[in-house]
Structure formats: C-alpha cells, structure tokens
Amino acid sequence: MSLPDPTPTASSPKTWTKTADRPLRSAVKSLGIWVFAHFVGVPVPWRAVRQTDARALLAYEHQRLVALAAAGEQVPAVVAFDGFALTTGDIGETVDLQLHRLPEDQRLPLMCAASADLARFHARGHWHGGAQLRNTTWDGHRFARLDFEERLRPGMALDTVQVYDVLQMLLSLARFLQPLGPSAVLAVLQAYEAAGPGGPAVRAFIEHLLPRLERVSRIAAWSRRLDGSRELMRLRTVLQGMSAFVASAPAPGPGATPRSE
C-alpha cells in the first residue's frame, strides 16, 4: 500500500506550549460530550469531561507523555514542564490536514493505515482518549499521537476506552468517508480488526450502538431540512458501513456456544 508523503516542513525545530491560563472546556460543551458518550453507550465519568483545574490537566498530560515515550510510543517529546506551562516538540502534520489535501480517490489507504496503527497501539496496552485524526500525525514513515489531557483512566475500563477511541476515529473520518460510500467505512473497520485483537470488542459495541443511531436517522428523516443535511448523509454512510462490519463477523467455529439474546 502506497501512502502519501506529507508536505515538507522547515528544518528548524518547532515547539508547542500549553499553559494553565488557557481557556478550558465550558460546562455546556462538557455536558454535550458527556451526553453524547452516554448516548452511544460509553460511560464517561462527568469528572473526566468537566475541566476545572488547568494545572491538573497539564500535569496529567505530562505524566502520560512521559510514560508513553518511555514505552517507545511516538508522542511529542517533553521539552519543559514547570507546572504552569508544558512545552513539547513538534511531531508533524496531522492526518486530517493531509486528507483534506489529497484527491478524494486517494484518501482511503491513509485512513486504513491510521486505523491499523491505532489497533497496534491498542494491542500494546495503550489508549488515546482523543483519537480523532486531528490528533494523529503522519510523517511519511510513521504515525504519532498528540493531546493526552483526557482523564478517562482509571475511571473507565481499558477495553471500553479503546472502543471509544475507535468510535472517535471513525466519526472524525465521516466527512472523508461519505463520498466514498459504506465500503470505505467497512475497509477502515476491517483494517483495525486485521491489525490487532480488538476487532470483536469493536464489533460487539457497534452491534449494540446501531439501533440507537438508526433511530436518530429515522427521526431526522421527518424533517426535510435535516434529511438532506451533510451531517445526516455522513451518519447514514457510517451506519451502513458499520452494519456491513457487524455482518462480516467470522462464523463461529465448530463446537462454539451460540450467543444468547
């Protein structure tokens, strides 16, 4: 599979700094994230989405970056941290920016490769918490991840957070997947399944999620304005691809116990 080369960047090192006096997530936005997560079946604790202590967020992200780097993962290097400001190295251009620049018919290989890389990251026992592809970079050789301030662990089980990562990634790709159709959604999910052991958990989660999303689609169809909106078209494409992924489950082996409904 051939992947695109990112746009060349300047040779001088670039750094990024987060400070404790930056605006935090509002209560309204926090509530929206919490409601959405619970709607899709992910029990995100309120304390994990409501941001009130900027210094604690920086300390938590610093801790995660140090731990992931020590484990050999591709994350921004910590340049400096004094409790008020966290300065990190640059890890290149994000995948979503590169997808915007690519011709429509050349996007799927990069999306599938990013999905497979997330599966391998999960297989090594890690989780992201902000797995939208605006938080993943590609430098032509490897993927890297940024933005680790979401405090989802230890309040949630690891496998639940990993499934949430997959959902975040998939929904962040909806605008790029919709023109390609449900088969592209299926390809991205199958790339995740093929690259690590998390496929069955993702499939089981999606199987329970589908009826809820299908109800949203049916209700929205009552409105002529909503029925033709880009958001609903994207949702329906993702729904069809998810349904195909659930249907593609391998047949149980000989002697397997049928699942009870």
pTM: 0.90
Instruction: Say how many C-beta atoms besides its own lie within 10 A of residue 258's C-beta.
Output: 6
* 107-108-109-113 Cα dihedral, nearest 10 degrees: 110
What CA–CA distance (Å, rounded) separates 116 from 191?
Answer: 5
pLDDT at residue 226 in the model: 67
Q: Under the phi-then-psi rule, with left for phi > 0, alpha for psi from -120 to 50, and beta for the rest, what region is 145?
A: beta
What CA–CA distance (Å, rounded) separates 182 from 64?
Answer: 35
| Domain boundary assignment for the chain | 15-247
Q: Can you give the pLDDT of all 261 residues of the chain as single tens digits? A: 557 666 655 555 789 999 999 999 999 999 999 999 999 899 999 999 999 999 999 999 999 999 999 999 999 999 999 999 999 999 999 999 999 999 999 999 999 999 999 999 999 999 999 999 999 999 999 999 999 999 999 889 999 999 999 999 999 999 999 999 999 999 999 999 999 999 999 999 999 999 988 888 888 777 766 666 788 889 999 999 999 999 998 876 666 555 444
What CA–CA distance (Å, rounded) separates 37 from 113?
Answer: 26
**For residue 256, what are the CA distances in angstroms to 194, 243, 253, 259?**
22, 23, 6, 9
What would the two tokens of residue 41 be? 């079946």
Classify each residue of 203-236 as buried b or exposed e, where b means 16 or more C-beta atoms within 10 Å of its C-beta: bebbeebeeebeeeeeebeeeeeeeeeeebebbb
Which amino acid, one-letter code, is at 150? Answer: E
pLDDT at residue 257 in the model: 54
* Cα distance between the two ends of the chain: 40
What CA–CA distance (Å, rounded) separates 221 from 246?
Answer: 24
Using an 8 Å Cβ cutoff, are 209 and 154 in contact? no
Cα-Cα-Cα-Cα dihedral sign, residues 73, 40, 243, 4: negative
